[in-house]
Structure 1
Amino acid sequence: MANYQKRYRENVKLQIAAKFIVDVITVICVAFILITYTCDKVTISGNSMNTSLTHGDTLLIDKMRFAFSSPKRFDIIAFNQPNITSSKTYIKRVIALPGEVVQIMNGSVYINGNVLENDIIKDKIMTAGLASNPITLDKGEYFVLGDNRNNSEDSRFANIGTVKMEDIIGAPWLVIIPFNHFKFIR
């Protein structure tokens, strides 16, 4: 009987160890699948989003953010441009929404004829580009600007233009590298 109890205790210890190993492997697999299909990693190249994001920051992109909703004004989005052959991912801030008319006059952004209220950036815009004339956004189309308005390649220029919903990858949500810039992105 003592032999039986000893084997039983050993089996219980083995079962606990095996369950722990299976649990750890399951958690690792689930985390890998979630990160692979719901996140992406992008490194900022350039200064167009200064001071919100800086050159060399590595961000995690939430690819599910806009699966069931649309970007709102002042959201930061990640997108690709299908007419550009590079695999560069752009990070910009949404300024105008589908159906709106956007124009840049006298250094300020106008939406539907009114100055953009509560703009995050207060700098005067030196180059209006395509937005010197009114731009009417179609359904599923967004006008984006970099936070460093006078040093940004964005919707004001023909090589970027307006951003279509299907070209939006997601929303940056976390700066992970460099560690001294580690922060959540609002």
Structure 2
Amino acid sequence: PFFPGPASEYQAEAAAARGGKKARPGRRRRENFWRELPLLIVVALVLTFLIQTFLAKVYVIPSGSMETTLHGCTGCNNDRVLVDKVTYRFTSPQPGDVVVFRGPEGWINTEFSVPQSDNALINGLQQFGSLIGLAPPDEKDFVKRVIAVGGQTVQCCDSRDRLLVDGEPLTEPYVYFLPEAGPAREQRFDPVTVPEGQLWMMGDSRNNSSDSRAEGHGAVPVENVIGQARLIVLPFGRFGWVDAIDPQPDQAVGMGAGAAAGVPLAMGMLGTLPLALWRRRRAERGETFLP
């Protein structure tokens, strides 16, 4: 006789009939789902770990040192930002980039603290929440803007209260002075030449930021940079791109903005090669395809 459908389905139905029970495909599907669920969870966790380790990660901004570019304060609905970990594999951080980095030896984060629980389970949940951007990050992680790179000399300030890099005043439309944090003026410091392979970091909220100006801090090695803050993902009311505004547009630095922008463009063009080859082979065989 002819039995429609896969043999395995027929056999299951026949076995159910012999046992006096009607086959229930929906029940089998539910049972298969619950058996496969642990594997799906493990795969999801592994993918999350790989993506956030090598491609991008969500960070919480718990302090106000980057106001008003990034919003964060005690008891507030702090910004969650997506940090790109790929770009700096092909180019170097440039002036104006907003970056997340590991504080070097001697850096002390006075802007916020993460309370630690004696409960191992709670600490584990906090670490997992930090991984996916639902809990404050490690206290050794900072977010600041790159002001100067290796070989440049930075100082404050000229007669108009502007930072100087290599003697030239910077254009910084992102600077904000928190009214209750003190006078609305830059903190003076003598010329500092940034060592090669290091970066001078400062917060946009100039009188409310513990950055390269602080005693015991100084420049940050490029190797400590985790990635570039690209996108505010939460809260939804502040969703949008994080602007990398070059404060020294008339000065040639490192690869330059044009070269840095060319890297993603080149990668995008390489990504179209498989599609172009596929279309060409179909055309050679005389097959039609949608444009």
Please give the range of the TM-score, normalised by the shorter of the 2 chains. 0.7 to 0.9
Q: CA RMSD in A?
A: 3.1
- Cα pair distance change 1:159/1:180, threshold 3 Å: farther
For residues 133-148 of structure 1, the aligned pairs below 5 Å read 133-148=190-205
Per-residue CA distance 1:103-155 (angstroms, 9 max, x = gap): 11142111111112x32336674312xxx211111111111111111221111
Which residue of the partner structure matches residue 224 of structure 2? Answer: 167
Work out whether residues 68 and 174 of structure 2, in 8 Å CA contact, stay in contact via their aligned partners in 1: no
- Distance in 1, matches of 2:230 and 2:49, equals 18
In 2, the alpha carbon distance for the partners of 1:75 and 1:164 equals: 15
Residue number in structure 1 paired with 2:169: 115
User: Which residue in 2 is equivalent to 1:41?
Assistant: 58
Partner of 1:157: 214
Q: Which runs of 5+ in 1 are unaligned?
A: 12-16
- 1: distance between equivalents of 2:64 and 2:108? 21
1:53-68 aligned within 5 A: 53-55=70-72, 56-68=78-90
Opposite residue 97 of structure 2, the aligned amino acid is D
* Bigger CA radius of gyration: 2
Partner of 2:67: 50
Partner Cα distance (1:63, 1:77) in 2: 10
Cα separation, 2, equivalents of 1:115 and 1:108: 6
- 1:127 is aligned, of 175, 180, 187, to 187
Q: Which structure features the higher share of strand residues?
A: 1
Could you list the per-position Cα deviations for residues 61-115 of structure 1 after superposition, in whole angstroms to 9, with x for gaps in the alignment? 2222312210111000111113247742111111111111111114211111111
User: How many Å separate the matches in 2 of 1:152 and 1:183?
Assistant: 23
Distance 1:50 1:60 in 2: 17
Match of 2:2 in 1: 2
**Which secondary structure does the structure 2 equivalent of 1:2 belong to?**
coil
1:175 is paired with a residue of what secondary structure? strand
Between the aligned partners of 2:108 and 2:212, the Cα distance in structure 1 is 18
Percent identical among aligned pairs is: 30
Structure 2, unaligned runs of 5 or more: 11-28, 30-35, 73-77, 110-137, 177-183, 244-291
Compared CA separation, residues 120 and 31, structure 1 to 2 (3 A): farther
For normalisation by structure 2, the TM-score amounts to 0.51
Aligned pairs for 1:71-90 (under 5 A) are: 71-83=93-105, 84=107, 87-88=138-139, 89-90=141-142
Counting matched residue pairs gives 173
Deviation digits for residues 27-55 of structure 1, max 9, x if unmatched? 95784354232223321122111111010
Mapped contact 2:175–2:204 kept (Cα < 8 A): no
Compare the two structures and name the one with the higher helix fraction: 2
**Bigger relative contact order (CA 8 A; separation at least 6):** 1
